[in-house]
Amino acid sequence: MALIRAVRGFEPQIGEDCFIAENCTIVGEVSMGSQCSIWFNAVVRGDVNFIKIGNKVNIQDNAVIHGTFEKSGTTIGNNVSIGHGAMVHGCTVHDNVLIGMGSIIMDNAVIHENSLIAAGAVVLEGTIVESGSLWAGVPAKKIKNVSKEQLEGQINRIANSYIKYSSWFKE
């Protein structure tokens, strides 16, 4: 059974038709929309600040979502995929975004819609990722604009695939 618990008087709020893996952790001031999935060993830790998650968001295995006490909560929009082992910390991620495996998004960074953060990228504190761009590297820098093929073939495909994958565990 997943560890879902209140912290400091805040109880996680989980939307409809969500998949919550048996060994993930969701604590504190967390609100989550519908059709989300929190995968194995992922941690969504709303103990020190809020975490707001939209609809159709997948937080893959070993990812960590957190914030900074009295400074930075975390907001994640709709149709967002957060790759295996990624860390999303005290930042804002808008709609239709793919956060690649093992990447790190730091406090007060803003990832605008239709963007892709490459695997292993480190988006530094306060960085603004413009809409429709692909960022990669350490520290992350803009590589190019996201093509229509990347939007459909990466961002939307992965988000939709995770709805399918999560259905397998609900049977």
CATH 3.40.50.2300 fits 3-170, yes or no: no
Q: Hey, is 9 helix, strand or coil?
A: coil
Which own/partner pairs from 157-164 qualify as long-range (CB within 8 Å, at least 24 positions apart)?
Answer: 158/58, 158/81, 158/98, 159/56, 159/57, 159/58, 159/79, 159/80, 159/81, 159/96, 162/37, 162/58, 162/60, 162/81, 163/35, 163/37, 163/56, 163/58
Q: Is the pTM of this model over 0.95?
A: yes
Q: What is the pLDDT along the chain (171 residues), one digit of tens a residue?
A: 899 999 999 999 999 999 999 999 999 999 999 999 999 999 999 999 999 999 999 999 999 999 999 999 999 999 999 999 999 999 999 999 999 999 999 999 999 999 999 999 999 999 999 999 999 999 999 999 999 898 888 999 999 999 999 999 987
